[in-house]
A and B are shown apart, each in its own frame.
Chain A
Amino acid sequence: MRYVVWLLVVALIILHQDLWYWDDRTLVWGFMPITLLWQGGISVGAGFVWFLATIFAWPTDLIEEAQQEAEGGE
């Protein structure tokens, strides 16, 4: 799952380059420019992917070790 999370981050970076909406001025719901809606969706998607990262890619061992060493002194 850790690799899936990092693949999703790469996917976000690729999807962020929405060259396909470069000259599209469609207004979604009558007011929202389509490229702005897409990029807003990227932000929401980023929040979700980083949420997954905190569950599946959290460096628990590193953190525990830091905690132990700090408590035990240098």
Chain B
Amino acid sequence: MIPLLVICVYLLLLLGLGIFASTMFRGSSQDYMLASHSIGPFLLLMSLFGTTMTAFALVGSTGEAYAEGVGVYGLLASSSGIIHSLCFFVLGIKLWSLGKKYGYTTQIQFFRDRLQSDKIGVLLFPILVGLVIPYLLIGVMASGTVVSAVSEGAFSSMFAEYDYGVPNWLGSLVISIVVLIYVFFGGMRGTAWANAFQTIVFMILGVITFWVISDNLGGVQAASEAVAKRNPSKLMRAVAESDEQKYEKAFATWQSLAEFNYANKKADGELLTPEQKAKAIADYKGPPIGNWKARAEANLAVANNLINISIAEKNDAFIEQDDRVMPTEKPTWWDKEVMTGHELNEFHRNENAVLQAYEDPIYSKNLGHPNDLINPDKPELGNKWTRKRTAGVYRATKWSPEEPRAMSMLVFVTYMFIPLSVGMFPHLFQHWLTAKSAQSFKLPVVAHPLFIAVVWIPCVLVGVWATSAVVPGTERALIPPHFNPNAVLPFMVANMSGPFLSGLLTAGVLAAIMSSLDSQFLCIGTMFTEDIVVHYGGKKRFTDKQVLITARCFIIAIVAVTYILSLYEPRRVFTLGVWTFSGFSSLFPLVFAALYWKRLTKPGAYACVITAIGLWCLFFYMSDMALNPHFTVFGMMPVATMVPAAAIAMVVVSLMTKPPSEEHLERFFPKKNSQTTS
């Protein structure tokens, strides 16, 4: 309950800040959407940084480092430090100056004016909104997950199916309402203030968490040395030979379990005699967790050569044991070769299979309220298991061992295209326009990479250390196999700090989430109002107050739609995040050319947008609608094909079509500045 109370206090503080910011509201739509261009360097830095750092900054970086090793920092963080500031510098300042000159509020207004095309807005509006919505969903859903995880056991009898904690849907709803309130009343100024406050919160709490966890692991040196000993691959981007050997051995053991289960099922559970079963259990040396009896019997069956199944049956057995989807048409090698672990991982896993764990007494016998003891007479057995822990035991004892994977060099290099997305984020465009003066950009440009380092390096180290942390006094891994990477940071905090710090850290994670959500909500409301309602309704038709009401109403509608969408398909949206960024990145050539290339034409811009989105849809479909998280194109990130293709289409079509008039271009490329600014 303490973590929940800490979170509630934090949310109340945030609401207070939003209400305070609203007292400075000047009542006009310009003030609501752009804070009357009054944001100075510090607030601009905090709002830009807070907006670009989502849940991935704390939870995601730790989880990704746990799964992929220290290479994650280079993949996502240091590249962002270079590219984000590059976009602020090369695009942000120039767009700010044009916005100041011509009074733009949204990206689409700029493109309509620059390209002399009304229809470009019709094309871009659904694409931009369509790409922002999955981004919003990530935040809304992650907030519900985080609140639910930290409040486990907070209630005595309610919400048993949510481990007696706050249900995900309720957590998401509360966070959405809090963000909605301060965006609704405070507008851009409230958002900027809230972002500044929340950015400070999550940066400070991230560093505190790092020290508490490292202290509990015996210090930074002991924690890293444990990784060097147990999981050396996590300290680099290649796979260490020792990890490869460990995996091969574990996979062979798992294969024998899968084959035994298959053969035993075929023999109606009578592959072993009762005496053999008793002997197998008596001889078993491992921990009595999950379906350990099957493992004990498998050991005996293998030792006595009792498993006789064909190669095809073995492959069927592996698919079944690992809860993979059996192919409708089996490959030609199916009855000739036993599949490798790598081949097994190519088949989709049915994640819903884990629901069996709640029904199967083998896994669910200890399920209950996490504050109750399993057996009051034997307190050493510990507390009852949550549903998450029960599912964890199911995965850890049933599924195949995790294959160590080296990072692909081509993927690493081409990941540099992903941070280009900030160049086309509509919410960042709006933040750029809020700057009081161009001087305000200096601090964000310089400090952004340093802030990324302050947040990410401790998180990456904690994620890597988590791979090798052990239960004190034993050699048993603290975190079981197949652990959800997004739960690594909350798990480490919960196990290595008190409930108060746990609540504080959760508040920090929520801060990172909300500081992105608010800008996105505001931006979508602004786009709808300016680019659709006012643009097609006519500027004179609406009073400033009506414009303001429209923006606010649309924000409420968008929050409602996002919230409703968040109640469906919770698993796949996280993968959609990378696709969202890729979509925005593929539109980067358009904004760059619009600012720096006079020869860009209207048809060229259409070619760019259509190529970018066409390829995005094609690759998205080819990746099984984002089900395949390791999908590549020519061995590279899909975005590495999308960006050059969109750029080439834009250049070729522009060169083939009539250039814009000199008179029009003069507005965007004044002659006196052309030599020094481009």
Say whether A59 contacts B446, CB under 8 Å: no
Nearest chain A residue, comparing its CB with the CB of B86? A9
Say whether B409 contacts A19, CB under 8 Å: yes
Given contacts A32-B224, A40-B453, A66-B101, contact A18 B74 (CB under 8 A): yes
Size of B's binding interface in residues, CB under 8 A: 57
Docked Cα-Cα span, A65 to B223, in Å, equals: 55
Does B114 sit within 8 A of A, measured CB to CB?
no
Given contacts A31-B223, A65-B670, contact A53 B409 (CB under 8 A): no
Does B673 sit within 8 A of A, measured CB to CB?
yes
Does A70 sit within 8 A of B, measured CB to CB?
yes
Chain A residue numbers with a CB within 8 Å of B412 are 17
Docked Cα-Cα span, A12 to B452, in Å, equals: 16
Chain B residue numbers with a CB within 8 Å of A69 are 100-101
Say whether A33 contacts B437, CB under 8 Å: no
Docked Cα-Cα span, A16 to B237, in Å, equals: 14
Shortest Cβ distance from residue B229 to the other chain A in the assembled complex, whole angstroms: 11
Which chain A residues in 9-44 approach chain B with CB under 8 Å?
9, 12-13, 16-19, 21-25, 27, 30-33, 35-36, 39-40, 42-44
Among the listed B71, B94, B221, B437, which residue makes an inter-chain contact with A35, where contact means beta carbons less than 8 Å apart? Answer: B71
Does B470 sit within 8 A of A, measured CB to CB?
no
Docked Cα-Cα span, A70 to B450, in Å, equals: 33
Nearest chain B residue, comparing its CB with the CB of A26? B235
Nearest chain A residue, comparing its CB with the CB of B219? A31
Chain A residue numbers with a CB within 8 Å of B103 are 74
Docked Cα-Cα span, A73 to B528, in Å, equals: 27
Chain A residue numbers with a CB within 8 Å of B93 are 59, 62-63
Shortest Cβ distance from residue A33 to the other chain B in the assembled complex, whole angstroms: 4
Chain A residue numbers with a CB within 8 Å of B74 are 16, 18, 35, 39, 42
Chain B residue numbers with a CB within 8 Å of A31 are 220-221, 223-225
A-B contact pairs, 23 of them (CB 8 A): A9-B86, A17-B412, A25-B235, A30-B220, A30-B221, A35-B70, A36-B461, A40-B78, A42-B78, A43-B449, A43-B450, A50-B85, A51-B446, A53-B89, A54-B442, A54-B446, A62-B673, A63-B437, A65-B672, A65-B673, A66-B96, A66-B100, A74-B103
* Contact surface of B with A, Cβ cutoff 8 Å: 70-71, 73-74, 77-79, 81-82, 85-86, 89, 93-94, 96-98, 100-103, 220-221, 223-225, 228, 232, 235-238, 240, 409, 412-413, 416, 437-438, 442, 445-450, 452-453, 457, 460-461, 464, 670, 672-673, 676-677
**Supplied contacts A16-B74, A42-B81, A61-B677, 12 more A-B pairs, CB within 8 Å:** A16-B416, A17-B412, A24-B236, A27-B224, A30-B225, A31-B224, A35-B74, A36-B70, A39-B78, A47-B447, A59-B93, A65-B101
